[in-house]
Amino acid sequence: MTDDPHRSPSAPRSDGDPARRSPFDGFSRDEFEFRRFDTDDLLGRTAPRDEKTPVFFEDTERDADNADDDTAGDADPDLFMAVTVDGQTLKASPAPPITLAPRRAGAQARAARARRRPPPPAASAGLQALRTILLVLAAAILVSTIFSLWTRPTFLPDNFRAGLNQVQATQHLINIQPSPLPTDVREVRIGIVAGHSGAPQDETFSEDPGAVCPDGLTELSINTTVARLVVAALQRESYTVDLLEEFDPRLKNYRADALVSIHTNDCSDYGAAGTGYNAASAAARQTTRGADERLLNCLISQYGATTGLPRHYGITNDMTLYHTFSEVSSDTPTVIIELGYMRNDREILTQRPELVAQGITNGIRCFLRPDIYGSPPIAGQ
């Protein structure tokens, strides 16, 4: 038997056995029609009209190829190949029909795995860091709001509040513009009186200690220490400063841009009320009344803000009729200040004299430089 020249190389030989005869024998290559069907066609949802629904059989070689393609991500499980001759699908092999459910299930499983796949590590870490930062900021804002609204002013210690007040009192912007023409530089003179210092009026005493505590602490020692610190601070700013005694002969018609007499309240036990500072200007002077009041207001506002001590109200004649008011020149602004009480305010007066001196220095600066400090609040007596 001669070989058919049109026989497919893969088709089995018939060799005279009808059972082994190829179903393609007797047909030329031109009589074969190859068609492609999608999944819907295979399931019978869109079967071609006037044609019998083809029966498809498994092609083991193609399934192996599709398995490899599926691994690479290029498989197309919804397309199959069939052979039709004269409108009839040929039964190429006795293999059982192809089952589509496993392939659809495999595709669905791959899609589900792709959906469950976590985002890239870099993006996930960035989102986590951003969320952490937002949570920390929200917590910080909430805590600061609660702390500000429900915290009493006395929550912070006195020395801490005094430091804050000192910073606020001295935190001013200095904006000095150069002058195109030379200007006259006037000497600014300031007088500082250390209360009870110098020779006393009573010649039977060698010195006037002022108020004295049972343990020997004297008002004179507090006044002198603070007065010297004030003088040193003002001199560092190029002011001309005179350190004066209580009955200094230079006080007669003394002329200066400002004069402050420093004193301290006694060591008696006044209970809870025996704390704080106070200041006063002359009650009878009219020529410098406006300047006296401005110096007084500056001293009261800046001293309290710097030291944190409360103001003690109540003015005595010893303050408003202070002898120095009548001795100095009528155009010298003058005030007297009581730094605090030697009993209840002992710690700040003896342990922190620099802070006390800074309060007085700030008050004098406020008076001399209204362009920087502005107008002080009016302090009632």
Triad 137, 140, 144: Cα angle to 5°: 145
SS3 164: helix
- Distance (Å, rounded) from C-alpha 356 to C-alpha 337? 11
Beta partners for residue 244, in sequence order? 193
Burial class (CB in 10 A: 0-12, 13-18, 19+), 89: middle
Burial class (CB in 10 A: 0-12, 13-18, 19+), 198: middle
Number of CB atoms found within 10 A of residue 346's CB:
16
Triad 183, 185, 186: Cα angle to 5°: 135
Which residue reads 């920390």 in tokens? Answer: 136
**What percentage of the chain has pLDDT greater than the value 70?**
56
Rounded to two decimals, what is the model's pTM? 0.54
Give me the mean pLDDT over the 117-140 stretch.
79
* Local structure of residue 80 (DSSP, 8 states): E
Q: Phi then psi for 279, rounded to 5 degrees?
A: -150, 155
pLDDT at 171 over 60: no
Q: pLDDT for 211-223, tens place per residue? A: 999 999 999 999 9
Q: pLDDT for 331-377, tens place per residue? A: 999 999 999 999 999 999 999 999 999 999 999 999 999 888 877 88
Token couple for 87: 């409108």
Please name which of 69, 64, 63, 45 lies closest in space to residue 99, comparing C-alpha atoms.
Answer: 63
- Distance (Å, rounded) from C-alpha 338 to C-alpha 359? 12
* 265 neighbors 298 (Cβ within 8 angstroms): no
Q: pLDDT for 212-265, tens place per residue? A: 999 999 999 999 999 999 999 999 999 999 999 999 999 999 999 999 999 999
Number of CB atoms found within 10 A of residue 327's CB:
17
- Distance (Å, rounded) from C-alpha 77 to C-alpha 67? 10
Give me the mean pLDDT over the 57-67 stretch.
47
